[in-house]
Amino acid sequence: MIQIFNPSRLTRQPFFRDLVDYLDQHDDVILREIKAQFPGVAVDKYLEEYIKAGFILRENKRYYLNLPFLESTESLELDQEVFVRDDSPIYLEILEKHFQTELRNQTNAAILEEYTDFAREKMTLSNYFYKVKHQYPLTEEQQKLYAVLGDVNPEYALKYMTTFLLKFLKKDQLMQKRRDIFVDSLVLLGYIVQNVDGKYELAVEFDKERFIFIKK
């Protein structure tokens, strides 16, 4: 099956996904066959968009896939739109790739350095912000974070999260008397843990000289 990573507005359309799967399994398809396969869909309109974008090829009144399949992961960049078959060696290479992200804020000098997979399924704050912004499906863990944070403004959330984290400059354990969604989120993300005394301890590396919190 063809996998699409980081789909655009066009390639995330349900009909595009359905059409790609159909053309991938059928050769020499004519317009009448596509319309018969997808009744109730404005096939002509969508096809013109896909042809103009170069994803579908029309020759002699026949329609073919013309997707730019990824051929190498050497220059692969995080958040790049990628077309690949899930039974190909390239797909396995993509799954093994790891990337570093950084989150900064305007309130203080704290930096959240995180590491992620290409599909952004790892539980990191950067991945969460990215998926919510683009309305991509969340993993089960990310959905738990969404239940706490929702579609929060990243700068607003970072302000309170980093302010709390920077308190570890002076103390190894912190108390939080009132329930706080940003502290709860840091627990879900694995930045802090609550000990038997109910106090919070840092669970990631902390470079105190550069104010960098490193979550691997």
How many CB atoms sit inside 10 A of residue 46's CB?
Answer: 18
Choose one of 27, 61, 96: the last residue of a domain.
96
How many CB atoms sit inside 10 A of residue 10's CB?
Answer: 14
* Nearest CA-CA partner of 51 in 88, 97, 19, 96: 19
Q: Which amino acid is at 131?
A: K
What's the CATH code of the domain at 7?
A: 1.10.10
How many CB atoms sit inside 10 A of residue 93's CB?
Answer: 16
Same domain, 6 and 59: yes
Q: pLDDT 10s per residue in the chain (216 long)? A: 999 999 999 999 999 999 999 999 998 999 999 999 999 999 999 999 999 999 999 999 999 999 999 999 999 999 999 999 999 999 999 999 999 999 999 999 999 999 999 999 999 999 999 999 999 999 999 999 999 999 999 999 999 999 999 999 999 999 988 889 999 999 999 999 999 999 999 999 999 999 999 999
Helix (H/G/I), strand (E/B), else coil: 50:
helix
Based on the structure, what is the number of domains in the chain? Answer: 2
* CA dihedral over 120, 124, 125, 128, signed as positive or negative: positive
Q: Can you give the pTM of this predicted structure? A: 0.93
Choose one of 81, 96, 111: the last residue of a domain.
96
Angle at 185 between CA 184 and CA 189, to 5 degrees: 120
Radius of gyration of the chain measured on its C-alpha atoms? 23
Q: Which domain holds residue 31?
A: 1-96
Same domain, 135 and 200: yes
Same domain, 86 and 102: no
Place of tokens 């990573």: 5
Choose one of 73, 96, 119: the last residue of a domain.
96
Kind of pairing, strands 205-207 and 173-174? unpaired
Residues 204 and 198: their CA atoms lie apart, in Å, by 18
- Helix spans in 79-136 (H): 89-96, 125-134
